[in-house]
Amino acid sequence: MERGLVKFTDTTLRDSHQSLLATRMKIEDMLPIIDKIDAIGYHSLEVWGGATFDTTMRFLNEDPWERLSIIKQYCKTPLQMLLRGQNVVGYKHYADDVLEAFVMYACKHGMDIFRVFDALNDVRNMEKAIEYVKKYGGHAQAVVSYSISPIHDVAYHVNMAKELQKRGADSICVKDMAGIMAPGPAYEIVKGIKEEVGLMVQVHTHYTSGMGAMMYMKAIEAGADVVDTAISSLALSTSQPATESMIVSLESLGYKTNLDLHKLKEIADYFKDVRKKYREFDLTDGTPDTNVLVYQVPGGMISNFLSQLAQQNALHKLPEVLAEVPKVREDFGFPPLVTPSSQIVGAQAALNVLLGERYKMATNEVKQYMRGFYGEPPGPVNEDVRKKIIGNEEVIHCRPADLIPPGMEEAKKGVAPVMQKEEDVVSYAIFPNVAYGFLEEKLSKKTGVDFKLAQEMSEGDKPVYPA
């Protein structure tokens, strides 16, 4: 039976290596094969955003803006990125002028599709990003982050898609960031969005639980237009389902993909060798992690727990911490467990267990969350818990970014000594310490002057007068 065309977004150059190799893949390992990837016929290539902006400067000594420009030179396929709404590519909310400048320069450097999400599914935290993407000519793909709780039923996810359409979304992505969406809910949610919203629907998952490919099949059956996959040698585990396997499965059922399995083999062989270069970061064992189904805890959170508990000689308390996570999540109004809410909930769950008393101590991020500075949680917060954490401090109910003063002018002053192009102001506004150190080193190499040493000497040479 002949069915419709299913399109693919390739995540190999972003989410795939972010999930498997700690975002460490260098551009030098992308360029030798990028023309072959571009020729495959993908719907889009996800190459930027998420943790890549931070990591390129912090660990790889690469300029994220230059990386995007270089990739664009090689690619006719539309480029795609993950944008954390008002968090931009950071871990907190930034001013609107910082967000707008980021989007403007990203479009200037060749970004086509912006996948916009918010950790709390608070559409207010996404509306400015959608507005700016459309203003500068990009495609705004708005995200419905999938979650499981008493309030996260099919109607919740479909209604959120409707709200995003009202705010100008060009397409919808159903994002299963933890790999916990089963085939049944996938079918119902995609069907509901296609029928009631009518926009193009793309589905994203991670293979953590082992359900990814099965879930995709039911989502496609319900009308999903595009799915995210990775080349087989960088697929599965915490990455995405494998492109090649999905092609054969779909075509056996009468779907068209217009993708050539033989051309993909060369790319798979290439990345099989590249992966060996990053062995020190390649910590997955390739088997499904069903803890994610029991506790709804993404694999990255479990890794963090292991690290934190090992430092406290408390690894034996991992089962208690995992059991505490859903309780904290309920107290916090059932936020989806995605950056940064996963870190906020996870850190509090660990504290509750380690201290032997629930909410005896709370991190600054938890206090800000309870005061409303991350946005409106999907469900009601436990008010007794809120009072224990923040006492009588005021809770805000507006869009958090409405309270943040413009940031670009201050950033321009701060980065002035090492600024080399306008985009550096945006990098500094989001990651001041990381960007300054990166730009300082870059300028030193360019000019042959050790700027850090020169600054220290000038400060040390100030004359000291007797009192």
Distance from C-alpha of 57 to C-alpha of 23, rounded to nearest angstrom = 12
At 227 the three-state DSSP class reads: strand
Owner of token pair 């664009």: 72
Mean pLDDT of 65-83: 97
pLDDT at 452: 59
Q: Are both 348 and 271 inside the same structural domain?
A: no
- % of the chain with per-residue pLDDT over 90: 82
| 451 confidence band (pLDDT: 50, 70, 90) | low
Domain assignment present for 450: no
Residue 467 has pLDDT above 50, yes or no: no
Domain boundary among 249, 278, 307: 278
CATH of the domain at 354: 1.10.472.90
Owner of token pair 């639980």: 209
| 83 confidence band (pLDDT: 50, 70, 90) | very high
Mean pLDDT of 92-120: 97
For residue 310 the two structure tokens come to: 């090992």
Domain assignment present for 8: yes
Distance from C-alpha of 131 to C-alpha of 134, rounded to nearest angstrom = 5
Q: What is the pLDDT of residues 365-405, one digit of tens each?
A: 999 999 999 999 999 999 999 999 999 999 999 999 999 99
Query: Measuring CA to CA, which residue among 120, 167, 127 is closest to residue 147?
Result: 120
Burial class of residue 286 (count of CB atoms within 10 Å of its CB; 0-12, 13-18, 19+): exposed
Q: Are both 116 and 171 inside the same structural domain?
A: yes
Structural domains in the chain (count): 3
Distance from C-alpha of 26 to C-alpha of 56, rounded to nearest angstrom = 8
C-alpha dihedral sign at 181, 187, 192, 194: positive
Domain assignment present for 49: yes
Domain assignment present for 453: no
Cβ proximity of 24 and 281 under 8 Å: yes
Domain assignment present for 171: yes
pLDDT at 464: 31
Cis bond leading into 298, ω under 30°? no
Q: How many Cβ atoms sit within 10 Å of the Cβ of residue 33?
A: 18
Q: What is the pLDDT of residues 326-366, one digit of tens each?
A: 999 999 999 998 888 888 999 999 999 999 999 999 999 99
Cβ proximity of 202 and 9 under 8 Å: yes
Q: What is the pLDDT of residues 58-68, one digit of tens each?
A: 999 999 999 99
For residue 116 the two structure tokens come to: 């916009």
Mean pLDDT of 421-431: 97
Q: Are both 126 and 20 inside the same structural domain?
A: yes
Distance from C-alpha of 147 to C-alpha of 167, rounded to nearest angstrom = 22
pLDDT at 309: 84
Stretch among 73-77, 110-114, 169-173, 455-459 having the lowest mean pLDDT: 455-459
Distance from C-alpha of 292 to C-alpha of 415, rounded to nearest angstrom = 42
Q: Are both 311 and 273 inside the same structural domain?
A: no
Q: What is the pLDDT of residues 126-167, one digit of tens each?
A: 999 999 999 999 999 999 999 999 999 999 999 999 999 999
pLDDT at 365: 94
Q: Are both 259 and 305 inside the same structural domain?
A: no
Cβ proximity of 27 and 64 under 8 Å: no
Residue 185 has pLDDT above 80, yes or no: yes
Residue 325 has pLDDT above 80, yes or no: yes
Instruction: Mention every residue, 6+ apart, whose C-beta is less than 8 A from residue 8.
Output: 42, 43, 226, 227, 228, 229, 243, 246, 247, 257, 259
Distance from C-alpha of 227 to C-alpha of 213, rounded to nearest angstrom = 10
Distance from C-alpha of 241 to C-alpha of 229, rounded to nearest angstrom = 5
Q: Bigger pLDDT: 295 or 52? A: 52
Q: Are both 409 and 390 inside the same structural domain?
A: no
Query: In 224-324, where do the E strands start and end?
Result: 226-229
Q: Are both 9 and 151 inside the same structural domain?
A: yes
Domain assignment present for 290: no
Average pLDDT for the chain: 92
Domain that holds residue 432: 403-442
pLDDT at 450: 63
Query: Measuring CA to CA, which residue among 315, 236, 289, 281 is closest to residue 11?
Result: 236
Cβ proximity of 113 and 297 under 8 Å: no
Distance from C-alpha of 291 to C-alpha of 300, rounded to nearest angstrom = 12
Query: Measuring CA to CA, which residue among 373, 355, 344 is closest to residue 124?
Result: 373
Task: Report how far Cα 34 is from the mean position of its chain's Cα atoms.
Answer: 22
Q: Are both 374 and 409 inside the same structural domain?
A: no
Mean pLDDT of 449-466: 46
Give me the numbers of helices (H) and strands (E) for the chain, helices first please: 21, 8
Q: Are both 262 and 311 inside the same structural domain?
A: no
Distance from C-alpha of 153 to C-alpha of 165, rounded to nearest angstrom = 19
Mean pLDDT of 407-413: 97
Dihedrals phi, psi of 175, to nearest 5 degrees: -105, 115
Stretch among 192-201, 273-282, 458-467 having the lowest mean pLDDT: 458-467
pTM: 0.92
C-alpha dihedral sign at 365, 370, 372, 378: positive
Domain boundary among 397, 427, 451: 397
Residue 234 has pLDDT above 60, yes or no: yes
Owner of token pair 């550096």: 424
Mean pLDDT of 436-465: 65
Instruction: Mention every residue, 6+ apart, whose C-beta is less than 8 A from residue 161.
Output: 142, 144, 169, 172, 193, 196, 197, 199
